[in-house]
Structure 1
Amino acid sequence: MNLEPLDPTSLPAPVDVSDNRVALAAVDAVIDAGPYDATWDSLSHYRAPQWYRDAKFGVFLHWGAFSVPAFGNEWYSRTMYRRGTPAFDHHVETYGPHDRFGYKDFLPHFRMERFDPQAWAALFKRAGAQFVVPVAEHHDGYTMYDTARSRWKVTEVGPQRDVMGDLLEAVDQSWLVTGASSHRAEHWFFMNDGTTFDSDVRDPAYSDLYGPAMRQETNPTERFLEDWLLRTVEIIDSYRPQILYFDTGIETPSFEPYLRRLAAYYYNRAAEWGREVVINYKWESFAPGSAVLDIERGTMDGIRPEVWQNDTSVSRTSWSWVEGHDYKDASELVQELVDVVSKNGNLLLNVGPRPDGTIPEEEVALLEAVGDWLAVNGEAIYGSRPWVVFGEGPTAPAAGSFTDAAAAVYTAEDIRFTRMTEVGHEYVYGIGLVRPEDGRMRIRSFGSDYRLLDRPIVDVRVLGSREPAEWTRTREHLEVVLTDSELTGPGGAVVRIELAPAGPVLRTDFFHGLNI
């Protein structure tokens, strides 16, 4: 591929971020003035907002200069400097030696010339997403937003526009919740292989892009941590995202005091705005209860009392655009969504745009297929809460992170449950993961022998049908006959049962103190 290298004369001068005292004092002033202080004890009073617990489904976006080479995955900026890897060999064969054409030279070719933020927001809304979380900065150090702390940003190099700001504005205008994710923490070491041979990572003229490039075994220094904190504060103040997602790297011990300061700052800023916000974290980087746990490409083995999140992608290959994706199919995505929601989680589903600003047709189709399923069955998802059990059936997906490489092979016996309470009505939903070949959905947990239903069933319907369902309840199961139209599409059908109203509750406060 014949790409012109970066013209150094086109760059502005490096930004001096060596003295952070004034900016850090301003951060601490917000912490001192707000309801939260920078201690885990104070932060443990945080509660995830109802809007997030109700939302269930959002769209994640990995975009950036790594989509220009479109080789391997979004870690190309690291692997291209790792000798002996396919990415290293591909880079030399395609672009030449690393001292002549390095990662920086891809940045001008990330142009986003066909980017239409309104069209993206409309697509995400059709998909049924309730929130949108674009990557603000990946491990490569190139910001997708307009920052005052670096010249390596989309407003100066590449698109020449604030693509994240434009997208978040379109998302907000579409009445969806805006978010942003920071992957900056791993930049501490991300380019370090480029220091082991003659590459542009060694060139002092580009050290402000390639970062410290230290060994991974070392802990970040105070200067790097201060810069991480202030970059994140800048995202908060400039874009006011209601979701702030952190990738791995922040679990490094030296981050701990900075995470506390950041969380207190964000929660206090949100209190000033009159908004409720969410921090997503992985592993054990935040204290329990101080933010929302995220499991990457995975699930829980049961119902978690507190809301959590699974972030995954439409592809097993990469989070970003690459050639030759191994895409999941629409049924698998619906199954992931349903399994997560039944266990009190939300699903954040990633797509990866091309460098010209278009979303690949396959990924558009997958988002629209999920949206079509939700248009019929969203009643069982949005605003729902877990039932007594999360599900039934012979198939148990592997719990934990990074378990979606091999999809669980579900059967028509695999069903997940949610519940919904409205004024005067209580519903329980049996969500099939696969449509039965014989057209009869059998739900064992609704059988009379299992005694999981504490009241009689007064109505049974299949979502998407205007007519009451044909059903029979036995000791073994509830059997529902599905029509031809209910046997098509991704995922499975959803059976809604309505329970008889609960009986009157004795007002013990009325009788308190009476001699009866």
Structure 2
Amino acid sequence: MKRTHRLLALCLLTAFGASAQQHSEQNNSHYVAPTDPVVKQKLSQWQDIKFGLLMHWGTYSERGIVESWSLCPEDEGWCERKGPTAVNYFDYKKGYEGLQTTFNPVKFNPERWAEAAKNAGMKYMIFTTKHHDGFCMFDTKQTDYKITDAKTPFSTNPRSNVTKEILEAFRKQNFMVGTYFSKPDWHVDSYWWPYFPPKDRNVNYDPKKHPAMWNKFKDFTYNQIQELMTGYGKVDILWLDGGWVRPFSTIDTTISWQKTIPFDQDIDMARIAAMGRKNQPGLLVVDRTVEGEFENYATPEQTIPDKYMPIPWESCMTMGDSWSYIPKENFKPARKLIQTLVDIVAKNGNLLLNIAPGPDGEWHEEAYARLKEIGSWVAVNGESIYGTKPVTPYRQGQWAFTSGNGASYISYLPTEAETMLPAKVALPKSAKTITILGVKQPLKVTKTAEGASVVIPEKIRQQLAKQPVWVFKLV
């Protein structure tokens, strides 16, 4: 479309392209809203803050490989093993677990992360205390496979309990904080029992045939989560991954990966949640993909629902291509990340954006640059994001609709070719006073059958050129 005086069309495709349309509407028919008033209040607070940071970090960063999954004996692309020991599974596992003896992130500086995230407009943070490989990034007493064990070089650093340091650094910046915790553990003997070889991602024995072993694993899991809920200050969110560890009765056979779960893997979430909330009143529990009372909000991964969803939800997505650190990351442009945030908020969700620290304890400098760009836009337009609610029609063409702070906001998501607002813009709604965020001067408004037509002075057009999203404020 030419950048002249033509009206902005309402029927163009969104800036996310066809990829966002490939994902069908999320099934939320079994969502169970919390009844505890303290949990409800925390959930409402979480829904207002919209934008969070997720960090995947572990010994796997030393090799620049996918987190944990190369240990999984499944013939899937994300489980591919590389390196000289890859031809023998057991040699590979031994070498992988040996990364503990060289892990030494001496540039670890969580205060820099927290400041950069805050300046970008992020307001909550989830950190991987333990991924599926079982390596603990906290000072657990349940295993020596942890960053604070003497076998790990970084254990001599006064900040070796990185989970504690990270949570504290982000709390000081007024973040809500959460602990990612993998329910499966591919290191501990009570999940992958050495008596049997592992066959896939699941427990490698039948818990019904070996109840004592399964109870041992349940206690191990409970005890580790209890440590996180009692020894790390205030925790707002317990974010549980590894959805195949679930009661057999909760399996949704319409979902391909769930159909392959061979055993009942019930770890007694009621007991875990009760303990967590006893120690952390109002704790949000996110038992990912296990619909029911312990999934306080849904977490579509690397996708954005096609439409507005009436339940609390969050898209967890990577800033680059990988959840874990890789040496040469392909970071998404800030423009796309900002448009992603606007799209998600208009559909009633939050964006949890993942950045992966490297083996030295630092992010890619490019990640800091992306956050700075996002922060520049948020500093001007944040009132259309935080503390708002989506309003009909939510998303329509290139428009996104929110309301809050005594105003309505209509955000326009331009295509790559649209670098400047035209001199006249057709809005799908009208109001007495309409401005563009970043400019105090009210626009000249003419009501139309479809909404309103506003005139954009040339000075404003130049001032707001090349913005990733333009936000009209209606009062």
Structure 1 and Structure 2 fold alike (TM over 0.5): yes
Instruction: Tell me the distance in 1 between the aligned counterparts of 2:334 and 2:176.
Output: 24
In terms of mean alpha carbon deviation, does 135-144 or 435-444 score higher? 435-444
Question: In the alignment, does 2:355 pair up with 1:362?
Answer: no
Distance apart, 1:95 and its partner CA: 12
One-letter code of the match for 1:278?
Answer: L
CA contact (8 A) 1:65 1:110 kept: yes
Match of 1:215 among 199, 206, 209: 199
Partner of 1:488: 466
Instruction: Tell me the distance in 1 between the aligned counterparts of 2:117 and 2:143.
Output: 30
Instruction: Tell me the distance in 2 between the aligned counterparts of 1:85 and 1:43.
Output: 35
Question: In the alignment, does 2:352 pair up with 1:348?
Answer: yes
Partner of 1:445: 428
Q: Percent identity?
A: 25
Distance apart, 1:277 and its partner CA: 2.7
Partner of 2:409: 429
Q: Deviations over 1:193-217 (max 9, x none)?
A: xxxxxxxxxxxxx958976664345
Inter-CA distance 48–304: structure 2 relative to 1 (3 Å threshold): farther
Match of 1:235 among 212, 228, 236: 228
Distance apart, 1:101 and its partner CA: 5.8
Instruction: Tell me the distance in 2 between the aligned counterparts of 1:290 and 1:68.
Output: 33
Instruction: Tell me the distance in 2 between the aligned counterparts of 1:100 and 1:350.
Output: 26
Which runs of structure 2 are paired with 1:372-391 in the superposition (5 Å)?
372-391=376-395
Partner of 1:293: 298
Partner of 1:201: none
Question: In the alignment, does 2:128 pair up with 1:151?
Answer: no
One-letter code of the match for 2:306?
Answer: D
Partner of 2:219: 226
One-letter code of the match for 2:349?
Answer: G
Over aligned residues, Cα RMSD in angstroms?
3.1
Partner of 2:280: 270
Inter-CA distance 292–42: structure 2 relative to 1 (3 Å threshold): closer
Match of 2:286 among 280, 285, 308: 280
Q: Deviations over 1:293-346 (max 9, x none)?
A: 211112223322232111111022x10101332322111211221111111111
Distance apart, 1:255 and its partner CA: 4.6
Match of 2:101 among 92, 103, 108: 108
Which runs of structure 2 are paired with 1:315-334 in the superposition (5 Å)?
315-316=320-321, 318-334=322-338
Q: Deviations over 1:32-62 (max 9, x none)?
A: xxxxxxxx99965452523212110110000
Partner of 2:162: 163
Match of 1:309 among 303, 314, 318: 314
One-letter code of the match for 2:286?
Answer: N
Instruction: Tell me the distance in 2 between the aligned counterparts of 1:387 and 1:99.
Output: 52
One-letter code of the match for 1:227?
Answer: F
Q: Deviations over 1:396-416 (max 9, x none)?
A: xxxxxxxxxxxxxxxxxx111
In terms of mean alpha carbon deviation, does 461-470 or 130-139 score higher? 461-470
In terms of mean alpha carbon deviation, does 472-481 or 79-88 score higher? 79-88
Question: In the alignment, does 2:402 pair up with 1:418?
Answer: yes
Distance apart, 1:351 and its partner CA: 0.2
Helix, strand or coil at the partner of 1:88: coil
In terms of mean alpha carbon deviation, does 101-110 or 57-66 score higher? 101-110
Inter-CA distance 281–83: structure 2 relative to 1 (3 Å threshold): closer
Helix, strand or coil at the partner of 1:171: helix
CA contact (8 A) 2:409 2:474 kept: yes
Partner of 2:63: 69
Helix, strand or coil at the partner of 1:90: coil
CA contact (8 A) 2:288 2:295 kept: no
Inter-CA distance 466–389: structure 2 relative to 1 (3 Å threshold): same
Instruction: Tell me the distance in 1 between the aligned counterparts of 2:154 and 2:357.
Output: 14
Helix, strand or coil at the partner of 1:186: coil
Match of 2:126 among 117, 128, 133: 133
Helix, strand or coil at the partner of 1:294: coil
One-letter code of the match for 1:282?
Answer: R
Q: Deviations over 1:234-284 (max 9, x none)?
A: 11111231111111333353454611221222223233xxxx33222322x
CA contact (8 A) 1:303 1:390 kept: yes
Instruction: Tell me the distance in 2 between the aligned counterparts of 1:81 and 1:103.
Output: 17
CA contact (8 A) 2:86 2:92 kept: no
One-letter code of the match for 1:121?
Answer: A
Partner of 1:469: 443
Q: Deviations over 1:97-137 (max 9, x none)?
A: 92796112212222110111211111111111111111000
Match of 1:186 among 177, 184, 187: 184
Instruction: Tell me the distance in 1 between the aligned counterparts of 2:446 and 2:376.
Output: 29
Distance apart, 1:458 and its partner CA: 2.0
Instruction: Tell me the distance in 2 between the aligned counterparts of 1:127 and 1:94.
Output: 44
Unaligned runs of 5+ in 1: 1-39, 192-205, 394-413, 448-456, 499-516
Partner of 2:434: 460
Partner of 2:28: none
Instruction: Tell me the distance in 1 between the aligned counterparts of 2:47 and 2:316.
Output: 15
Partner of 2:24: none
Which runs of structure 2 are paired with 1:90-109 in the superposition (5 Å)?
90-92=83-85, 98=91, 102-109=95-102
CA contact (8 A) 2:85 2:92 kept: no
CA contact (8 A) 1:135 1:144 kept: yes
CA contact (8 A) 1:392 1:445 kept: no
Inter-CA distance 458–147: structure 2 relative to 1 (3 Å threshold): same
Inter-CA distance 208–372: structure 2 relative to 1 (3 Å threshold): farther
Instruction: Tell me the distance in 2 between the aligned counterparts of 1:373 and 1:105.
Output: 44
CA contact (8 A) 2:287 2:294 kept: no
Partner of 1:259: 269
Q: Deviations over 1:211-239 (max 9, x none)?
A: 66643455652221221122112111112
TM-score (norm 2): 0.76
TM-score (norm 1): 0.70
Inter-CA distance 91–54: structure 2 relative to 1 (3 Å threshold): farther
Distance apart, 1:472 and its partner CA: 3.6
Helix, strand or coil at the partner of 2:40: coil
In terms of mean alpha carbon deviation, does 361-370 or 347-356 score higher? 361-370
One-letter code of the match for 1:270?
Answer: Q
Instruction: Tell me the distance in 2 between the aligned counterparts of 1:268 and 1:388.
Output: 39
In terms of mean alpha carbon deviation, does 304-313 or 289-298 score higher? 289-298
